[in-house]
Structure 1
Amino acid sequence: MTNSLRPHGHHRAPLPPAQQPAEGVPSPRSPQTPRAATDAAASGAKPAKQRDAFFDNAKYLAIVLVAMGHAWEPLKGQSRIIEAAYTVVYTFHMPAFIIISGYFSRSFDMRPDRLKRLVTGVAVPYILFETAYSLFDRWAGGDPSQAITLLDPWYLTWFLVALFVWRLTTPLWKLVRWPLPLALVVAVLASVSPDIGDDLDLQRVLQFLPFFVMGLFMKPEHFQLVRRREVRILSVPIFATALVVGYWAVPRMNTAWFYHRDAAQNLGAPWWAGAVMTLALFGCSLLLTACFFAWVPRRSFWFTALGAGTLYGYLLHGFLVKASEYWGWFDHPWLHKPLGEIFVTVLAAALVTALCTVPVQRIFRFAMEPRMEWAFKRDATELARERARAKA
């Protein structure tokens, strides 16, 4: 590469075109503003690809469901209806997020700029928020024994560990012949292996893996299939049936299966139940995720831009959830009545929406997308390109 940049007479070899970093989900990156697009055009750089409103809408709606599910957790023990809704939401909200994560990781390779973004956008936020959650637990929860360790993700930070591992293994999944069946085998083996332990929350990393691998091999036309009118109509009775089944299953099923964080033996079930439940839940999750995607709007709304800030909402709302648990906010009896449950649901949606907004992104950008130029070598090609632009 160095030789190709040396002058030969009065001519220089052309520089390779600038490449855009790989996108990831959930992503804190904001959509390109018109001014940025104008500046890019003026400098001769290739403008960033425009965001797809469908995926931003899907991410925003999924993060709202995540927050609602966490708000329902203290209420579900006294309301069978809430627990049924909780069960249905937990069947598909994280699979939907993870499938989109895989879809936008298709171009990931070991190119330096993509590795850099993986470190600054996933690894560093994990370190910072894992530390912050542990300190918050010591202060608000009054648990001085809460250790600060990066090997045992606490609460929401498991997703960052999983995304880091999944994305690093992306080239491997592109290489093997039957990636999805292999990922399902890995998930099944994890579900029957109680000795895996809690390190890096590997149970969740491995049991949710098939959804990420599926996203890696999805194409735009696959999302078009589930957005057809007939699929939207069919999704209504499917969701209604899921709620009825969820209501029936409340006293008969352990909801811990939906967290994918334990082996079957840890849940008091025989080992073979892990394989059966992993495959059954994978099928149910895909069906409900398809129904969810069918109802995600494809055009822009007031909340579409918030899809770029879902990682902010995801990580920050956990502090409010834990604060409500530590300080007994749900101890008020009226919150366990129908009007109180509706109030909690609406409040959770409003709070996580606020946490995805641009002002919140500006405040916490230092933790979510640090630049860290001091930590990385400058790419020789990019330096040469900057010098060429300066001389032009």
Structure 2
Amino acid sequence: MPHEDVAREPARPRRDAYFDNAKYLTIVLVACGHAWEPLTYGSRAATAVYLTVYAFHMPAFALVSGYFSRSFDMAPGRLRRLLTGVVVPYLVFETAYTLFYRWAQDDPGYPLSLLDPWYVMWFLVALFIWRITTPVWLALRHPVPIALGFAVLAAVSPDLGGDLALQRVLSFLPYFVLGLTLRAEHFQRLRTRRARLVALPAAVAALGVAYWVAPWFDAGWLYHRGSVTGQGAPRWAGVLTTPALFALALLLTACFLAWVPGRRTWFTVLGAGTMYGYLLHGFLIKSSRFWDWYDHPWLHTPLGELAVTAIAVTGITLLCTGPVRAVFRFVVEPRMDWAFARPPRTDEPQPASQVRPDARAQESR
């Protein structure tokens, strides 16, 4: 490449190790949560850990996604990345998951519905809707209370339906919108020794409460798949439970972010591949269910639970690595230059209608 071409290339912004670490650790929690679910039926301790993680891991994922969506402004380049980085992977993986289900369950008639996302695919639908509405949220004076109001409406609306996972889209919307309003200094306040010391007893207390409620608390409250009536509660309860769960999730998210290391570690580079891990790990999780991997009694012992955790961490880590990203980049981050109009060159002459009046006057002289 000629030297002058190198000089003209804009410098790439340096990635922040703290946020890459946060992304990786969050996707690890997502994978562990999915892997732990079959263990909760016979272990109170496993259930307590499961409930604690589920209370905040997807809210944290949405909050960080919102923080990195602050610059979305409908510019052609950003719309292009939204389509290639969210819409196309959704279409590909939603189809792949459907075909996988048909093969694994020997059910060729299982329908393919792009409007009804299956399993983990709901988050891509949510991310698209959240990001495409970002300019609206940024234009509002009090976006978080308004977003929380939409979440309350979702919680009290039993007929919202499953199309486009709207129940979850609206339920997790406040976390994304909160991320839009955050700045670097907000995270800096969590990255202090004092914050870490406060976060530790708070997290331990939350785990203790989870252990206490584990025998009777329904984890469905944390999934946000339906309204509160689906949990056997009256509709008005959603007005109270939604803000309460929002506050709990923020508390645990703050505790989690306080303990995320800010320096470069061995897993920092994996933070750039979390979308790969998210999209691919669902095949492993569903395989464990389809082929009854958890039927072995040893897995439901303390050592077995630790083994499941180790396998989940190892698996999601491998799915975020460079070789896996290289293989699946064509569907997770496709370039698709052929599908988009070429942006106009800045050195092309402007039409006369676009020349400023003062420029025309200067030319006439």
TM-score (structure 2 length as normaliser): 0.93
Q: Match for residue 312 of structure 2?
A: 348
Q: State how far apart, in whole Å, the 1-side matches of 2:83 and 2:304 are.
A: 42
Matched ranges for 1:160-179 at <5 A: 160-179=124-143
- Structure 2 match to 1:109: 73
- Read off the aligned partner of 2:279 and give its amino acid letter: L
Kindly state the Cα deviation for residue 141 of structure 1 after the two structures are TM-superposed.
2.3
**Mapped pair 1:304 → 2:259:** no
| 1:217 is aligned to 2:174 | no
TM-aligned CA deviation for residue 74 of structure 1 = 0.7
- Superposed, 1:37-186 pairs within 5 Å as 42-186=6-150
**Which of 165, 170, 185 pairs up with 1:201?**
165
1:322 aligns with 286
* C-alpha distance in structure 1 between counterparts of 2:109 and 2:170, whole Å: 28
Counterpart residue identity of residue 120, structure 2: L
Deviation, structure 1 residue 383: 8.1
Give the % identical residues: 59
Q: Secondary structure at the match of 2:182?
A: coil
- 1:143 to partner: Cα distance: 3.0
C-alpha displacement at 1:43, in angstroms? 3.5
Change (3 A) 1:74 1:170: same
The residue type paired with residue 57 of structure 2 is H
CA deviation profile, 1:103-156 (whole Å, cap 9, x unmatched): 110010111010000000000000000000011011112333421110000000
Change (3 A) 1:327 1:228: same
Q: Which amino acid aligns with 1:225?
A: R
1:249-328 mapped onto 2 (5 Å cutoff): 249-328=213-292
Q: Secondary structure at the match of 2:100?
A: helix
Whole-Å separation in 1 of the counterparts to 2:216 and 2:283: 32
Of the candidates 173, 188, 205, which is equivalent to residue 241 of structure 1?
A: 205
Looking at structure 2, the residues matched to 346 and 40 of structure 1 have their Cα atoms a distance apart, in angstroms, of 50
Change (3 A) 1:97 1:40: farther
The whole-number CA distance in structure 2 between the counterparts of 1:209 and 1:261 is 14
Partner of 1:380, secondary structure, is coil
Q: Say if 1:40 and 1:46, in contact at 8 Å, map to a contact too.
A: no
User: How many angstroms apart in 1 are the aligned matches of 2:156 and 2:4?
Assistant: 52
Distance 1:248 1:176 in 2: 41
The one-letter code of the counterpart of 2:340 is F
d(CA) in 1 for partners of 2:20, 2:9: 25
Distance 1:263 1:146 in 2: 26
Provide the C-alpha distance between the structure 1 equivalents of 2:18 and 2:149, rounded to a whole number of angstroms.
Answer: 31
SS in 2 for 1:223: helix
| CA root-mean-square deviation | 1.7
Unaligned runs of 5+ in 2: 350-365
Q: Structure 1's 382 and 255: CA in aligned 2 closer, same or farther, altered over 3 A?
A: farther
TM-score between the two structures when normalised by the length of structure 1:
0.87
One-letter code aligned to 2:240: V
Distance 2:9 2:300 in 1: 56
Distance 2:313 2:46 in 1: 16
Listed one character per residue, the Cα deviations across residues 71-91 of structure 1 (whole Å, up to 9, x for unaligned) are: 101111110100100000011
The whole-number CA distance in structure 1 between the counterparts of 2:341 and 2:187 is: 39
